[in-house]
Structure 1
Amino acid sequence: MAESRDPAAQDNGILARIGRRSDVVVGVLLILIALATIVESRSFPTTAVATDIGAGAFPTAFAGILIVLCVLLIFNHFSHGALPDATDPIGTEESEALAEPTGPINYLNPVLGVLLTVAYVAAISWAGYLVTTPIFMFVLMQVLGFRRVVPGLVIALGVTFGLYLIFDVGMSVALPTGTLFD
């Protein structure tokens, strides 16, 4: 098979190779960020209360979880590439054809996601966590393509209430109540 001299075809080959390595690159970068978070959170102030876990406990826990997930991502990348399944199209021309963009890239949804997040951050101090969070989560899921309304509402309300129970009730971390209800 003759090698293509078309620059676009060569670019797609480069992008496909980078795409396959992106799991490892992103995993390593996130591990480094998580390690820096753990180191920095050790300097957070502590309180005199013996039962208080301290301000650094949550960043450390989440950074630890992130490290575990990144290690799994990297492991999955190497184990998947090392032991290909006969029915798995990865590494074949079929998989490269599937990975190639089929049309123009849609930048509207990511931009809307960022704008929604900015609006959420601005609105949370006015309307509070319990009002803004489920609305934000539901609308963001719709923007990102999750079109099922009832499951979307259940997920948004469930995550909001679950986080409220964990932080406000369980750990006495005050969530924003907003000025709307004062």
Structure 2
Amino acid sequence: MKNWWQKSIIIAVAVLTLGAIPPSHMLWESLLDEKASSNSHAEDDQHKQFIYDWQDPSEYYYESITILDTVHKMAEEQAYLKFGSRIGPVIRDEFQTAVLPNMQRAIDLYLASLDSGKIAKLAISEKPSGDHSEKIFHIYDMETNEDAIRFHVRTEKKPQEGYFFNFHYHVADDDFQQHIALGDIYWSKNTPPKWLS
């Protein structure tokens, strides 16, 4: 059946091109040669013998933790360290669902804009500030010691509502001027304790 289609195509091309491409043209010969060689390869594939060698999977095990996983984990640890034992248990669930995913997305977006050479030079600060200071952690360049992103939380008192924790971050691109919101968590009408307490 395929042979019939092929002959029909050759005749149709010859008629449509008014004989400019005759059936004896090199184009048709190369097409026929490719078909013959593909048939011989198909026959060879049927007679191949495959040998499977069992490999120990532990030889090929690579740790699945990526740099993003590491950064996300460190960011979360620094946040809980800042919250301390008095604030942490109260806001933990809401932080996990409302703020942490936004924080991780901001980190992902920033890291995606860098090449691997710059990413390798980054680190996360390990000392969140206490009392009423805003710093949770900063991502900085280890060579220049300059901050790239600053993640902060600010305590705000809204009239008639009470105290909220405003999570936000700043980027070096605008000299850390703009507050980019990550989310708010309600505390209560009572003054919250100091950070790290």
- TM-score, normalised with respect to structure 2: 0.23
The answer to which structure has the higher strand fraction is 2
Bigger Cα Rg: 2
- TM-score, normalised with respect to structure 1: 0.24
The answer to which structure has the higher helix fraction is 1
